[in-house]
Amino acid sequence: MQPKQLLIALFICIGLWSCKDDDKKVQIEEIQTPIVLEPKKEFGFVLEDYIVKRDTIRKGDSFGEILERNHIGYPRIFNIAEKAKDSFDIRKLHVGKPYTLFCANDSLQTPQCFVYQPNSVDYVVINFADSIHAYTNKKPIKYIEKTATGIIPEGMGISQLMIEQGLSPRLAYKMADEIYAWTIDFRRLQKGDQFKVIYTDKYIDDSIYVGVHDIKAVYFEHKKQPFYAFQFETDSIKGIIDYFNEDAKNLRRAFLKAPVQFSRISSRYNLNRRIAYYGYKLRPHKGTDFAAPIGTPILATASGTVSESTRRGGNGKYVKIRHNATYSTQYLHMKAQNVKKGDFVKQGDVIGWIGMTGNSGGPHVCYRFWKNGRQVDPLREKLPEAKPISDSLKVRYLDFVAPVKIRLDAIQFQDGSNEPQINIEKDSISQIQ
């Protein structure tokens, strides 16, 4: 090749190489397209548009005082309260509950919106930026279905095992006291007992963990004997959910063993009781006293209808529940009731709180148990089993349980490990907006 031809070929190669480099540069520019982030929102408001002030309701606070502290005059406060009263009663602000003020993003920082949170999910918005309007809403709730397995090591209880592995102890409590309370004594678990559980965790705003929502299915092997439990709704109108084994037998009794969790019996049913304070005269005690701190929730030991919710004499504030034609229960000395006459309550519902009203020497609930109109000792009674599943529901239950059992059986224990494993089922997510 002549020098002139060689020089021309060299220029052509350099040109082609430059084109390739240009192509690469174009590709790189396309890959590095900036990502536009969504503005952060809360309660439907873009946070960067406001000066956000957060606080909690203090003793003596009122809606008017909070706005007045933030430079809004009382004529405008009165106008806001009047127009918002049909949606929310501004007098119902409880001490300790959080609130948020969205203020103008300027030097005056004038409040434009007040948001009150009575609980972790619900919130009330009173917007007075332009026109005045109020409404209630809920934070997004997400339920994530998970599975966990575990093998009980020597000298360790199931709650401790779960805590050490980052699981909620509530999971252990629900298995021990809500599902297997009448079939397995969780205080006497043995080395090698093992479990598999399908459950859902509850999150608010995608990130705030609020605990175990419910348990869908459990396999628990105790002393080499298997115990299945499957959640099933037996009454959609009253929202009654129970647990049954693989043969559709109810795992529960009709009554809880106690109306208070983690309490102690301070005085038993005793028809021959004599008290020194009363000169050792015979003063029968027809109830069972469960001692617990003031404010501890009191639970309905069985489902039924509230027949009394009042205050009377030495009983103090109390609730009485009629469960059926045979059984009723009564709960005395409450600090306050959480139900009223005529309410239907489910087993485990909070019906009041421990107090010292009436004749009471200390904080406790006197639990009275009525059978055929006569007070008896519930600890000596052979309590009935929970209502069995109806024949009409049994076929539907067995069809419902079949695929759940297959899935539960397919979950594998970690070979040679005494530690629980946690598997998150990411496809099993439901969300409430």
Domains annotated on the chain, with CATH: 41-138 (3.10.450.350), 142-252+387-432 (3.10.450.350), 264-376 (2.70.70.10)
Structure token digits, residue 423 = 């598997």
The answer to whether 255 and 228 have CB atoms below 8 angstroms apart is no
Question: β-strand 364-371 against 281-282: which pairing, if any?
Answer: unpaired
Residue 280 pLDDT more than 70? no
The pLDDT, as a whole number, for residue 2 is 54
Mean model confidence pLDDT for the chain: 83
pLDDT in tens, 247-276: 999 887 778 878 987 667 888 777 766 565
Query: Per-residue pLDDT for 126 more than 70?
Result: yes
Specify the amino acid at residue 132. I
What residues pair up with 297 in beta bridges, in sequence order?
353
Structure tokens given for 221: 């092997």
What's the rounded mean pLDDT across residues 397-410? Answer: 94
Asked if residue 430 has pLDDT above 70, the reply is no
pLDDT at 29 (0 to 100)? 47
Overall average pLDDT of the 102-111 stretch: 92
Which pLDDT score is estimated for 391? 86
As a whole number, mean pLDDT of residues 330-345 equals 95
Q: Say what percent of the chain tops pLDDT 90.
A: 44
Confidence grade of residue 199 (pLDDT, cut at 50, 70, 90): very high
pLDDT for residue 58 is more than 80 = yes
Give the count of beta carbons closer than 10 Å to the beta carbon of residue 3. 7
- Report the distance separating Cα 433 and Cα 431, nearest Å: 6
CB 351 within 8 A of CB 299: yes
- Among 13-27, 37-51, 127-141, the minimum mean pLDDT is found in 13-27
> What is the pLDDT confidence band of residue 20, given thresholds at 50, 70 and 90?
very low
43: which residues sit within 8 A by CB, 6+ positions away?
100, 115, 123, 125, 137
**Which pLDDT belongs to residue 426?**
45
**Model pLDDT, residue 1:** 54
Lowest mean pLDDT: which of 95-99, 235-239, 340-344?
235-239
Answer yes or no: is pLDDT of 431 > 70. Answer: no
- How many secondary structure helices (H) and strands (E) does the chain include? 6, 25
Q: What is the mean pLDDT of residues 309-324?
A: 94
Q: For residue 60, is it left (φ>0), alpha (ψ between -120 and 50) or beta?
A: left
Residue type at 352 in one-letter notation: G
Q: Is the pLDDT of residue 5 over 70?
A: no
Side-chain half-sphere CA neighbours of 387 within 13 A: 16
pLDDT at residue 282 above 90?
Answer: no
Q: Model confidence over 349-395: pLDDT tens digits?
A: 999 999 999 988 889 999 999 999 999 998 888 777 777 788 889 99
Between CA 284 and CA 305 the distance in angstroms is: 28
**Which of the residue ranges 108-112, 187-191, 269-273 has the most confident prediction, judged by mean pLDDT?**
108-112
Q: In which band, very low, low, confident or very high, does the pLDDT at 211 lie, cut at 50, 70 and 90?
A: confident
CB-CB contact of 276 with 367 (8 Å): no
- Given a contact cutoff of 8 angstroms between Cβ atoms, the answer to whether 126 and 113 are in contact is yes
Cα separation, 189 vs 158, whole angstroms: 8
Q: What is the pLDDT of residue 95?
A: 92
**Lowest-confidence segment of 141-145, 191-195, 257-261 by average pLDDT:** 257-261
> Which candidate, 429, 432, 431, 433, places its Cα nearest to that of 144?
429
- pLDDT band at residue 111 under the 50/70/90 scheme: very high
pLDDT exceeds 70 at position 35: no
Q: Where are the alpha helices (DSSP H) in 143-186?
A: 158-164, 169-173
Question: What would the two tokens of residue 58 be?
Answer: 């203090």
